[in-house]
Structure 1
Amino acid sequence: MTHVDYRLPLAARDDVVVRLVRPDEYEAVADLSERAYTIEYEISDDYLASIRDIESRAIEHQVWVAADAASGALLGTVATPRRGNTISPLAQDGELDFRLLAVDPVARGRGIGDILTRHTIEIARLRGLERVVMNSGPQMVGAHRLYEKVGFGRLSERERIIEVGGRSFLLLAFTIDVPVRLRLDEKIAG
């Protein structure tokens, strides 16, 4: 499999680079994701195995990493579907979904979750999609605050009760409309 590095026109900060994960980083991204999810949440062994399965996810979808521009240290990760696909049952036509946003606990407070979330919205915009949607567990209140700060709202009509490890809970859904940027040669009407 060929790896391609490129930078989307999102580069809001010079100190962090968002790019696709490289195969030699799968284990490090799995460790980062495990630290991010297990520091605050009790998760099942099956869900932990899914979180750590970076290689399979990178083959089927796109796994993005946020890396420190100076040191190369991995700071966070998020997964998006390849063009024309979805990564969860939540997404409908015209929507991009994402999963498993994780920020290394040592990198929290640096805006990494914000960068990765906005990166996902930019992917949707570049693909000509109308909305970004995602699911989140009810206990992930820190993540919910991030999504609300970015502009996501609840998509309650698509929330559903799921059972994991013998426990039932409401899987929350969030959405944001994708902003449309005007080309420089376009004029704003009115």
Structure 2
Amino acid sequence: MTVQDVRSFNRFYTRLIGALDYGRHLYAPYTLTETRVLYELAHAPRTDAADLRGQLALDAGYLSRILNRFERDGLIERGPSEADTRRRRVALTERGREAAGLLDERARETVGALLAGVPAGERDRLARAMAAIREILGERRPPSAEDVVLRGPRPGDLGWIVERNAAVYAAEYGWNAEYEGLVARIVAGFAENHDPRQERVWIAELDGRRVGCVMCVRDDAPATARLRLLLVEPEARGLGIGDRLVTAVAGFARDAGYRELVLWTNDVLAAARRLYQRHGFVLTAERRHRSFGKDLVGQDWRRELRA
């Protein structure tokens, strides 16, 4: 890549954004920088001027003039910081929140218009490319739990569940293709015949990348749901994704009228077992078995669901 490549991309993107905003006055009556300050204040309601300078890389004098204007317009209020009295806390007023909400709505509409022209199958690819640019060019902020989104499955997600379960368990536990076959049968059964009122799949997404999944399906026992195929990608662990996925399954199962939630796992999955225990599951049975090319101890876990 050359300097000219970067400049060419910058010109393309600038023209694209300008075309989307043509005649729409996206930021009016504020400048782009003022809009960025409003956005940060709306998403970090307790901050101070020093934080804003660091987050937005703004000159202190320039930021001060922006905040002075906002205060005159009744958009913000300032006071001593609770953490450090030498600092000034900045917070949006009700009028400021309304202004920030309007600008956010305009931005959502504009970006929505842009994405409307992108084929559904290309959106994941676009998101990955954007994430790669941000990471490579310096935005190396570690991911946080707030960056993770849980959503329903899209075309291709069920196949991804099979692929990633097979790959992760082969890499971490040495399980063979027998496990991939089991996962494929479970996923195929869900795809071909499931009741969306009582069965569901969740995909965990981080910066446009799939990093986790879980399923809730009907069990053979009456009024019983089964948690299946819980997976969190190794690079996304530590963000509470497993907790959120299990919580989502339990809440859905309870709302769907199930009285119990059950699951089957193996004793070698120590982290998963600790997760289930945190969520109120109780070990009810253990059986030795030879599966997936390994000698294992299978475990049945059960949790009562209260209304």
Normalising by structure 2, we get a TM-score of 0.46
Over residues 100-144 of structure 1, what are the superposed CA-to-partner deviations in whole Å (9 max), with x where a residue is unaligned?
A: 111111111111111111111011111111111101112111110
Q: Decide which moves more: 45-54 or 145-154.
A: 45-54
Q: Match of 1:63?
A: 201
Higher relative contact order (CA 8 A, sep 6+): 1
Matched residue count = 157
Q: Match of 1:118?
A: 247
CA-based RMSD of the aligned residues comes to 2.5
Over residues 66-92 of structure 1, what are the superposed CA-to-partner deviations in whole Å (9 max), with x where a residue is unaligned?
A: 113xx22211011221xxx33xxxx52
Q: Distance in 2 between matches of 1:165 and 1:30?
A: 15
Q: Could you tell me whether the CA contact under 8 Å between 1:99 and 1:134 is conserved in 2?
A: yes
Q: Match of 1:37?
A: 169
Q: Match of 1:105?
A: 234
Q: Distance in 1 between matches of 2:167 and 2:176?
A: 14
Q: Match of 1:145?
A: 274
Q: Distance in 1 between matches of 2:157 and 2:204?
A: 12
Q: Which structure's CA Rg is the greater one?
A: 2
- SS at the partner of 1:28? helix
Q: Distance in 2 between matches of 1:155 and 1:79?
A: 21
Gaps spanning 5+ residues in structure 2: where? 1-144, 195-199
Instruction: Assess, with a 3 A threshold, how the Cα gap between structure 1 residues 48 and 119 changes in structure 2: closer, same or farther.
Output: same
Q: Distance in 1 between matches of 2:294 and 2:161?
A: 28
Q: Distance in 1 between matches of 2:304 and 2:187?
A: 30
Structure 1 or 2: more strand by fraction: 1
Q: 2:157 aligns with which of 7, 25, 28?
A: 25
- SS at the partner of 2:203? strand
Structure 1 or 2: more helix by fraction: 2
Q: Could you tell me whether the CA contact under 8 Å between 2:223 and 2:259 is conserved in 1?
A: yes
Q: Could you tell me whether the CA contact under 8 Å between 1:78 and 1:99 is conserved in 2?
A: yes
Q: Distance in 2 between matches of 1:46 and 1:106?
A: 25
Give the C-alpha shift of residue 167 in structure 1: 5.6
Q: Distance in 2 between matches of 1:75 and 1:179?
A: 30
Q: Could you tell me whether the CA contact under 8 Å between 2:213 and 2:232 is conserved in 1?
A: yes
**Superposition pairs for residues 71-82 of structure 1, below 5 Å?**
71-81=207-217
1:47 and 2:179 matched: yes
Q: Distance in 1 between matches of 2:301 and 2:243?
A: 15
Q: Distance in 2 between matches of 1:79 and 1:46?
A: 20
Q: Match of 2:114?
A: none
